[in-house]
Structure 1
Amino acid sequence: MEEQQTHARYHLAPDEIEQFRANGYFGPFKVYEPDEMRAAWRRERLALMDRSVAAYRDEELSGNTNISNYDRHLDSAFLADHICRPQIVDRVTSVLGPDLLCWRTEFFPKYGGDEGTDWHQADTFANASGSPQILWPDELKEFGGTLTVWTAFTEATEQNGCLQFIPGTHTEMNYDETKRMHYSPDQINNSEKNGVRRGFFGYDYRELQIDPDWRPDEGQARSMVMAPGEAIMFWSTLMHASLPHTGETEAMRLGFAARYVPTSVQVYPGSDSIEEYGGKISLENYGAVLVAGENEYDHNQMATATLRGHVFPAL
């Protein structure tokens, strides 16, 4: 009972849930103390260089592909514990309910001189692969997308490429994910407005626009400045982007995104591989992780421990 009370303090209050429903995001909020996060990253970045038991091995990856940044929680004990932290999970269950999966994680590094990430939304995550990667059940079709919790592993500022959101844009998709973007590893600077260089990892996200003449209202954008150890929770259907790293400092900006859905959602339905960003990898070593509640479904491949044997500490 005492442990449950400790965890309960991180659930969203009714007014916070209303704020989230209106804006499409909540935070930033603290997951670690800044010094705790700095120390953890100094330690873990060296350990993560060992990809010998990563879910997606280097020998499988072809070209310059972002897939190499996927799902390191499947071999890292620190990241396995991170996705299950009550500071995160309690807030997500406040929105998605008690039975919760983490279905993907991604690192988002940004180095000095890197362009910003273009404005985008994601519902089924078919935008790069051409195949839906998550499907909500028919009875919940009014929902879609995933709840992403983006944690700043380093400081995130407007100068080094912090996230940007356009509040309230999560209820209507401006992009058609059934269209397939065309990958070109040399494609950069997809758009520039008000002097901001943006791209999308070798894709032009504008190819998916429902209205080719539509443009996001960047005048409404809000920058998400965060200290190390802070996180922000948002719908993937919220219009979001990032600023470029101006290069005024050589320090890398690093974010770690954990993506959550209810257990009723199908993950990688009918797929045994991921093909995007110029690479293709097998899902043989993949598994969604139950981070809270119970899973009464059998439609997803599941993982109960990392590939090194560390058990996921589900709440």
Structure 2
Amino acid sequence: MSIQPTQSTDFSLSAEELREFHERGYAGPFTLYEPEEIKDIWRRERVKLLDRSAAVYQDEEAHSGVTNIANYDRHLDQTFLAEHICRPEIVDRVSSILGPDVLCWRTEFFPKYPGDEGTDWHQADTFANASGAPQIVWPEDTGFGGTITVWCAFTDATVDMGCLQFIPGTHQTMFYDETKGMHYDPATVNAVDKDGVRRGFFGYDYRDLKIDPDWEPDESQAVSMDMAAGQFIVFWSTLMHASHPHQGKTNDMRMGFASRYVPGSTHVYPDTEVVEEYGGRVSLDRYGAVVVKGENRNPENRIATETTRGVPFSRRHG
């Protein structure tokens, strides 16, 4: 059975929303699920995720490290997540920014448990920061890069529970050089920064990539993205973003699910058969980007037309 969009409404960003997005680098939050609806869904789906028999990444090496890259791209085997990335409420808004041809090239879970550190300020253009090699490359004539990230709160995401932070307007200038590379060191987890905040970057020190070693993010301009369960935010990966620590004032975890989108002309995972980062390594043998709207315009891309369980992905038209 094919995954079908749940609504036919056009959810494209309005002219004013698009203007604000280009100015700030983010849009939202928008509501996708009602809080009780997503809480019920998440209780059911998190159990299904334990079954890795159809997951595209099976390598034992992927289970090491602070961030488990074996749990990348579970939309390629789990029906709910496959439907989620194709939802018109998401795809129409992303297409407003990227154009008529859109690929979902990666998804990731971002759990934060009581007592977990925050994530350090960072930007991502080609996503070479941890892997050491570009993972997405836009056509040369575009003069830009990055991905549109749709970060959906599967649970409440408050300041105390570790919600996202943005520094508006920082998406058009890269303050980091991803080609410099970072050294993986799990001992950096739960380190305390100069202001006494527990922040890190999954076993890396993102400050190693700063173009100007003396530059510091202007945190006085930071805004916190407090979201209820079922809401999502749309932002450029080149926007300066971070997250608060989970203060442990509640025993509830914070779970975010990020789906990442690029234009159909983008080259996904060029010249590589594996992804190595965060202390893990996975093969791309079973991987494929998903066309969520329009067409794939790069013939070198691996494309998945159905999940590993045989459920076709929906493609948005018009």
TM over 0.5: yes
After TM superposition, the score normalised by the length of structure 1 is 0.96
Matches within 5 A, 1:67-216: 67-141=69-143, 143-190=144-191, 192-216=193-217
Conserved? CA contact 2:70–2:282, under 8 Å = no
Q: Is the 8 A contact 1:51 1:58 kept in 2?
A: no
Q: Distance in 1 between matches of 2:8 and 2:297?
A: 23
Q: CA deviation at 1:297?
A: 2.9
Paired residue for 1:45? 46
The alpha carbon displacement at 1:189 in A equals: 4.1
Cα 1:296–1:199 shift into 2, 3 Å: closer
Matched to 1:139, the amino acid is D
Structure-2 residue corresponding to 1:11: 12
Distance 2:259 2:63 in 1: 24
> Does the CA-based 8 Å contact 1:8-1:90 persist in structure 2?
no
CA distance in 2, matches of 1:166, 1:191: 21
Distance in 2 (CA, whole Å) between partners of 1:62 and 1:87 is 33
Alpha-carbon offset, residue 230 of structure 1: 0.2
Deviation at 1:314, TM superposition (A): 1.3
Contact 1:183 1:202 in 2 (8 A): yes
SS in 1 for 2:179: coil
| Alignment correspondent of 1:282 | 283
For structure 2, the residue ranges without an aligned partner over 5 or more in a row are none
Question: 1: CA distance between counterparts of 2:238 and 2:228?
Answer: 24
Alpha-carbon contact 1:190-1:204 (below 8 Å) kept: no
Instruction: Look up the equivalent residue of 1:123 and give its one-letter code.
Output: D
Query: Structure 1 residue 122: deviation in Å?
Result: 0.2
Deviation sequence 1:186-210 (CA, Å, 0-9, x none): 2124552443210000000000000
Residue 258 of structure 1 aligns with which residue? 259
Taking every aligned residue pair, what percent have the same amino acid on both sides? Answer: 64
Distance 1:227 1:311 in 2: 30
Structure-2 residue corresponding to 1:301: 302
Deviations 1:70-127 (A, max 9, x none): 1000110000000000000000000000110000000000001000000000000000
- Give the aligned residue type for 1:185: P
| Contact 2:63–2:70 (8 Å) recurs in 1 | no
Residue 218 of structure 1: CA displacement?
0.6
Letter in 2 for 1:166: I
Say how many residue pairs are matched. Answer: 311
Residues in 2 aligned to 1:243 and 1:274: alpha-carbon distance in whole angstroms: 27
In structure 2, how many angstroms separate the alpha carbons of the residues matched to 1:62 and 1:242? 24
1:224 lines up with 2:225 in the alignment: yes
1:216 shift after superposition? 0.4
**CA–CA distance in 2 between the matches of 1:165 and 1:134?**
22
Partner SS, residue 275 of structure 1: strand
Structure 1: any 5+ residue segments left out of the alignment? none
User: Which 10-residue stretch deviates more, 52-61 or 100-109?
Assistant: 52-61
Q: Distance in 2 between matches of 1:63 and 1:294?
A: 36
Tell me: CA distance 1:157–1:62, structure 2 relative to 1, closer, same or farther (3 Å): closer
Q: Distance in 1 between matches of 2:194 and 2:161?
A: 18
